Structure 1
Amino acid sequence: MAILQQLGSEPLALGSILVWTLLAFVLAIAGGALMGLRLGASALGKELAALMGALFGPVAAVPGVLLGLLILKLV
């Protein structure tokens, strides 16, 4: 928890932007795989649904986080 408090309290630097982007990428992969399993397991099979969810999960999450970090950097 101390690492997240340190990343949230300091001004945005390249290192913190990379850490937040990597964290968003990992969480988007996990969330996409879980939602792929939930939504498409019966139609596609569990493995394919999880794989497709993990591939398409970061498509929206990572650009959204980068845009949010850019806005925070400019404010």
Structure 2
Amino acid sequence: MKIYFISFVISVLMMALSSVAIYNITDHIDPPVTPEGHKYMPTENVAKALFLSIIIGAVTFISVVRILRRRPKK
């Protein structure tokens, strides 16, 4: 049970950090500005960041569980 809790905490932290990083990258690559120069709500960039951070969180959770389940070699 301890393995899953540690994996969950690490994956949530990774999701939070990756969502901020991905949002900043997508906001820089595709800024939310109309052709007239007006700014608008970047819902597309937010959706991209959330979707990719969920995928990264799942991969992180699975990886950490596998790493923590390895038995030490004798």
Q: TM-score, normalised by structure 1?
A: 0.61
Amino acid at match of 2:64: L
- Give the ranges of 4+ consecutive aligned residues of structure 1 lying more than 6 Å apart after TM superposition: none
Q: Offset of 1:74 from its aligned partner?
A: 2.5
RMSD: 2.6
Distance 1:15 1:59 in 2: 17
TM-score normalised over the length of structure 2: 0.61
1:55 pairs with one of 37, 42, 50 = 50
In structure 1, runs of 5+ residues without a counterpart are 1-11
State which structure, 1 or 2, has the greater radius of gyration over its C-alpha atoms: 2
Structure 1 equivalent of residue 28 of structure 2: 38
- State the SS of the aligned residue for 1:38: helix
1:40–1:49 contact (8 Å) kept in structure 2: no
Quick check: which one's helix share is greater? 1
> In structure 1, what residue type is equivalent to 2:30?
G
